[in-house]
């Protein structure tokens, strides 16, 4: 969807406080919108689409606390990154499509 907004203007805002049992999410992110729409259809008592702006492509949702999370992941150590790279190269023969050597 072309909205005329720049990437910098396409934001995701997440609001919550300790008192309110809901988290309010306002986003332009297509993947997040699709995931929240599907979740709200499946669990309407927990997650609701509260507003939609077709002109800008923005959607707003309210979701119960405890149903939305942030995942913090530690960065890979150089040792772990090298081990993962070696394992991927070792098992690349299991792929259904050959890897182009010039891409590596």
- Is there a contact between 14 and 23 (Cβ–Cβ < 8 Å)? yes
% of the chain beyond a pLDDT of 90: 56
Q: pLDDT-based confidence at 10, cuts 50/70/90?
A: confident
Q: What are the φ/ψ torsions at residue 94 (nearest 5 degrees)?
A: -80, -5
Q: Region 61-90: what's the mean pLDDT?
A: 90
User: Higher pLDDT residue, 97 or 15?
Assistant: 15
Q: Among the listed ranges 3-7, 23-27, 54-58, 77-81, which one has the minimum average pLDDT value?
A: 3-7
> Interior CA angle at 58 toward 30 and 44, to 5°?
80
For 42, residues 6+ apart whose C-beta sits below 8 A from its C-beta are none
- Summarize pLDDT for 50-59 with one digit per residue, the tens: 999 988 889 9
Residue 13 Cα distances to 24, 27, 42, 59, 101, angstroms: 8, 6, 23, 11, 41
pLDDT at 61: 97
Q: Region 74-96: what's the mean pLDDT?
A: 84
For 11, residues 6+ apart whose C-beta sits below 8 A from its C-beta are 26, 27, 28
pLDDT at 103: 53
Q: Distance between CA 15 and CA 37 in Å, rounded?
A: 18
């Amino acid at each position: 969807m072309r909205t005329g907004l720049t990437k910098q203007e396409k934001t995701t805002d997440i609001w919550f406080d300790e008192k309110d049992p809901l988290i309010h999410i306002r986003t332009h992110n297509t993947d997040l919108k699709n995931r929240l729409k599907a979740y709200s259809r499946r669990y309407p008592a927990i997650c609701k689409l509260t507003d939609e702006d077709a002109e800008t492509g923005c959607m707003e949702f309210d979701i119960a606390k405890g149903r939305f999370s942030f995942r913090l992941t530690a960065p890979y150590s150089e040792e772990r990154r090298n081990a993962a790279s070696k394992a991927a190269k070792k098992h690349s023969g299991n792929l259904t499509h050959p890897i182009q050597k010039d891409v590596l």
